[in-house]
Structure 1
Amino acid sequence: MPSKTNQIVTNAGPLVGFWEWDIRNRQENISKSLAEAFSLQHPFSREEGAFWKTILSVIDFQSFIELRADASRKKQADIISTVLQGITALGEVATLEIQMETVAWNDSGEAEKVIGYVAINKPGLSSASNRLLRKLTEHVPGVVYQYQYLDNGLSRFPYASDGLWDIFEHTPEEVRADAASVFDRIHAEDLDEFIQSMLNSYTSLNPWKMNFRVVLPSKGERWIGGSARPEQQPDDSVIWHGYMADVTHQKKIEQELVKTNKDLQGILNAGSQISIIGTRVNGLISHFSKGSENLLGYKADEVVDKENLTIFHVREEIKLREKQLTARLGKEVEGFDAIVEMARKGKHDTREWTYSRKDGTTFPVQLVVTAITDEHSKIVGFLCVATDISQMTKARLALAESEERWQFALEGAGDGAWDWDLAKGSIFISPKSKKMLGYASHEVRNAPEGWAKLIHADDVPTYQKNLDEHLQGKAEIYSTEYRVLCKNGEYKWVLDRGKVTRRDENGRPLRIIGTHSDISQAKEKEKALKSTIDIIGEQNRRLLNFAHIVSHNLRSHSGNFEMMFKMYDVAEDDDERKEMLAHIRTISEKLSETIHHLNEVVMVQTSIDLQRQNINLYSFAEKTREVLTANISSKNAHIANNIPRDIVINYNAAYMESILLNLLSNAVKYSHPDRDPEVRLTAYSEKNYTVLEVADNGLGINLHLHRDKLFGMYKTFHPNKDAKGIGLFITRNQIEAMGGKIAVESEENRGSVFKVYFL
């Protein structure tokens, strides 16, 4: 027992507790007050040295062990004193005055028991405060911690909440004295950066923040996000107070979004000779496709977030458009608004403009401007798709020049001429007119029937009608284009124009003079021009259709993402969150597939024929149902897919996806408020068609009022704020582009049946 004369005298602070070293049994007993002073549980481990290893640094621990050994070698009750630095479980530094003495020996004079006393000037948080802190942190995802780096290169976690296990799969007790095992968990590729970031914070005392990977024994690779604020301690060590959390699922979503953005940029860059430019609402360029670089000579990094769309437009054209819109709308329209004002009003503005390249040269384009809206229908930017129409413009000018030549021919400078004396019934056909067809002068009689019999039978009615109307005074000038048989058996196109030069007192024609012009080459040019215009028109229609598909289809996926994330945020347990993540993963996969199909659509914009592939109609319908999982769940809808599983259609995949998505989403969206949506899909053969039926029990449509405008653009038939009036318009155009047709049967408050006929 300690001597009464050996009372502890300390300047460090009040007596906190005592400890006892049982040398023979190699155990230690720590008093309750001493354990709680360091925010540790009582009874603490009786393992020899365990308590001191927990609260002391490695150097101080070794010093204490040596002093304790000295005390055990004393042959009489002499007190040994020392002052050391201790750290509570909450990371507070405390100054300890430790006194110890041997109080029991065996018969051989060997020490059997040492008793010590501890005084402390800063006992740390009370056990009640410790319990409060742990209660506050036990339900916080992640770990609240204190990390200490000592000047001898060692580190430790003086305090860590139980969430440490979720981050590193270590308990707070395992890293309280030494944090080395934590570094073993950090991914090898991130370890150097992690250590360097900690050293930078240590030397500068700036806050530390980093995302890094760990490799855990049970969970495998995970992403961790951490942040902490450093604080210099009196002993020159640094303690960080911080927080870490598992951010793996956020990181995966970020990676998927990066991939999606890259895929979408790939779509924008697919049309190498089509300019696709995205702008913000003020006209600042936000996207600049590869085709824009090719056509305009700028690189994307020269204009994105730096220039306004007006940089490519001829100023005089913008000024003219400003005046037109200002007069038309009754308000001042200036600058960029002159290009997008009609799109801002919800219209797809298609107009010819002149674009200016970086080198100053110009070329004509046909520009389609579409507003880009967010999920609340607020305009967030504009999509501007421009096609170079230089060839079409040249052809148009050539045709105008030909028209001028024809006018000149009508005035007397034609290739051939004719003079018909109606009073005498005789006609003069010039040798040039005959030579034009390969005939000698004597081979075509100078009589009305001599020329008329050479006219192609299909053109005779038009020829006769136009001539009669002019002779009767109904048309100021006679003009007809028709085919005439040449000597070599081929037909040549001729422009036959004339005018009555003399009439009698009753207005009856007496003489008509005219010209024959060979317009075969002009007809070929016209044919080529029409073909070019048809091709460009078809390409523009597809581009506009593609813009609709991007806006309409991606909005469905975006809406699904938003709904799933909202459901994830309010999920009550991990099972629900896992289910939500599974749905998010499915939607992400379907989004990737949609982007793949959209990319295929872009690749065929410069081709006349849409690419086709064999599509299993049942499987495609199932995929569409998966895409609409969130909408179906929110409406408590039931989709019955009764399509025979062996029906295969040779069709364009992007169009098929868009058709099914529009019909199914409409069936769910326009459900009747008094009953759960029931949607039934069936398919069968009818003549040369495969017919798909999509039947629902929704609101239905009044076909007596709306049948003629059912498939029109921007036509809506129910007061639904999300209705855009685009879906059925797109659907019909896609079906007809593939040679099919669509029909509908509907009754208000009973439902609708849409029938798609696939050729």
Structure 2
Amino acid sequence: MGAKPVEMPADRLGELLREAQSLAGIGAWELNAKTGQVLWTEEVYTIYGLSSEKFNPNLDNALQYYHPDDRSRVEGAVMKAVNFGSPYTLMCRLIRPDGKTRFVKTTGRADTHDGEVIRIFGIIQDITELKETEKLLIESGGITTSLVEAMQEGVTILNADSIQISVNPAFCQMTGYSPEELIGLSPPFPYWPEEFYDEIFLMFDMEPEPGKTLQVTFKRKNGERFEVMLMPAKLYDKDGNLQAYFATVRDIDEEVHTKRQLDQTVYQLKKLTNSVPGAIFQIVRSNEGEIRITYISEGIVAMLPVASAEYLMDSSIKALEIMLGEEQTETLRSMLEESARLMQPFSTLVHLNTGSEAALIQVDAQPEQQSPDWVTWFGYAQDVTRLREQNRMLENLVKVTGDQNNRLLHFAQIVSHNVRSHASNIMGLLDILRESTSIQERELMLDMLGETGNKLDETIRNLNEVLTINRNVNPPKTKVNLAEGIVKVLDFIREELDSHLVRLKVDVPEDLEVHVVPSYLDSILLNLLSNCIKYRSHYRRLEIVVSAEQSCGEVILKVSDNGLGLDMQRYGDQLFGMYRTFHGNPDARGLGLFLIRNQVEAMGGSIQAESVQGEGSVFTVRFV
């Protein structure tokens, strides 16, 4: 197996691209159509003869360096691009600060969004050497060998009959052919790939535009294809007769390969960033203090109500106001400013209104000082709404489990106490029964044993009922119409209500639904209403009020009466305990409120009591 090729890092690819631009005399520039800000690559400064450290370009001072005869033409083309998005390519002259004139070719292309021009991208190429070469050839009336050999780029010259009459050393080195192998040949030439014959022949029939370059595929002597930049020209004598075909040829294969690698790397990086569940972004603060989003991956679409990441690309941070609101946007801006001042990362949570529901977004960013005034943040944003909900559910599960363990511990203590008490009574009665010789006494002991056995059976049934509730941590719930549930229970105890002349008021919306275990709801309502009757005052007519409302995602049920009431200072902490009774009622088992609390809490709700002795009680149940 062969050695695995070493992949070139992206930063090295960028460095090669910059070197290629320098060698080609090509610079790139950008004009922000909104702010007028102009950005140049280093090669543009070189073409202008200016220092990037001392000169801060803008549209006005950049135009001042064009030749007075060319300036209005350049300015007009730029304005048409800004206002109408019209592309342009111009050949014109620059006058450097040292007074020297340079011929340049400048091209501009508009970048639009929703029909509005956002930026103008362009390149500028120094073609002075080519123009001067062309001038020498025309003025000399012929082509000299010394001139051809002086060209640093490849040169190929054909006479009017399309016969190859000259190639320079650079062209020979580029193609691998010697002059002897090429001079005297007519088309098609051996450095033309067969698959591109028609395309190259067509160029001979065209009148080339001065300074226009063409990208063409050539073939080396070893058969290898490579990309070249061809600048063709037709030379005429003073009478207008065709004298020669002249072309400069530059090998750009490495540049093309580098660009392809760079494009592939960019593509892979974008593909990688777009595959991340959240959104990767880049934010830049310019030397004017403007904060802009310069890159954001497609993961933003899943979090924000936007059609694509391009919606936010190269937009001001103010564009986030529609989703964050003014206050949160300003808070985010302040955090960015503080992060830039301290050069420290920041992390924050922002609330988004996506239209259908609120979302919680975690934003983390790391600043990087690009220059004294330029700061770039590389960051990551992710929707943590579901994670927060899962954490909330986990916390609730931990709480429910803790409550369950406490209830089970309490239940174990009750079982131990109550069963042991009955067992002791039985053992004691059996001991007396063994020692007794009186038939009457033995019959009495047997009756007492039967009564104790019945009490033990009742206790076991009660404990089993409690255990059934506690064993079911998350019982299945369903939606129940609360008003209908109340009517069903009231019908069940209607005879008791009527016999005690109870004044009953029910204030519950007919369409109010509660998410409950139906059997638990029946038990809760039955116990609460039965307790109202059981612990009524004998000095006034019993009044019961049942009301309910929905608030903040909860259904709040209240059952109040004007019965005996209770001293909450004395008994409040024992009210929901098992086998706790407080009024000496012979029918009281001390189990009803204990069961209610367990059933309510098993469904994730809560119950509270308010009571004044001699005035009555209010029980409030919250269903979630």
Q: TM-score, normalised by structure 2?
A: 0.34
Q: TM-score, normalised by structure 1?
A: 0.29
